[in-house]
Structure 1
Amino acid sequence: MNILAFAASNSRKSINKSLIAYASTLLAHHTVEVLDINDYEMPIYSSDLEEAHGIPSAAGRFLDKITSADALLISFAEHNGNYTVAYKNLFDWASRKNRDVYQGKPTIMLSTSPGPGGASSVLKLARESAHFFAGNVIGSLSVPNFYDNFDSETGRLADEALNTQLMGVLAALQSQ
């Protein structure tokens, strides 16, 4: 199975990128491509820009990556209870080219933050809106208190209960 994994954050030091990197190692029997959304920078979406210049080619390249994958693994960073601007902009442009951004792919959605909420607000938003964009969410997990629960030296979840939960969520891909 080919899995496309990415953090919905453009921060170079994103803790969601760390979570994606770790989760990817738990999918050893699959081919995992980790994508960086910084490779898909575009102007802030507006219908005026779309009318004047069309949809940027980066939106098409992002959709092509999703098309070539069998499944998706996404970890959402939370800014003020919502998506990061970088991801929302990429998603908005991509949805103008193909409303079915997720293309029916089995999707695992994760989130984490430094606080006890674990970016659960944006994770809930992503899960609940996915079906509007041909999302097929087969599992999700919010990881609270990232710096307390993730060992940056080993690059893995230090909390065994959370680690077990993550492995259980990822196991949903095995049945696909």
Structure 2
Amino acid sequence: MNKLRRALPILALPLALLATACSTGATATEDDSTRRQLRELLDRNKIHALVDRLAAALGEGRFDTFDKIYTADVYAKSPGGEVRGRDAVIALISRNHSNEHRQPHYISNVQIDLAGDRAAVRANAVLAIVPVSTADGKFAPEPLFTSGGAYRFDAVRTPEGWRFARVETAPVWAMGTLPS
């Protein structure tokens, strides 16, 4: 039920546009314009949801969901290296993710430049690496490492939906020591 409540505001505008398009005596040209606007809004919504899905998958270590996020031949570049292919991306990311640490990723300020079946996406990100257990007397553990920077993605429409074909991370700042 909570997922539905969160999705309703996101769906409200596209559904309102659809209702307007269906209820007016618009001309063919106006109908085409409304359809293009509706498709663009839906595409932006799906790409933004893809960014959110990536943040959740990284934070929870659910790399088995990457087939719904990345293309099979995705290119990735980060301070940890450059790789091609979903399995290589999982191996690269797995080096810094462990069961001893939680790694919430906060991705915001998503900008999407659509061009048909392709999109350039830019977003800001903050990452915290936190031990799973807390010290006695603490409400929650303090982060061992935090960093912030930018993500850049190339998104493509595939038969299965929008996926990232390229991802690059560029750290801007960091605090603490990256666990080994």
| Length-normalised TM-score, structure 2 | 0.28
Q: Greater helix percent: which structure?
A: 1
Q: Which has the larger radius of gyration?
A: 2
Tell me the TM-score normalised to structure 1 length.
Answer: 0.28
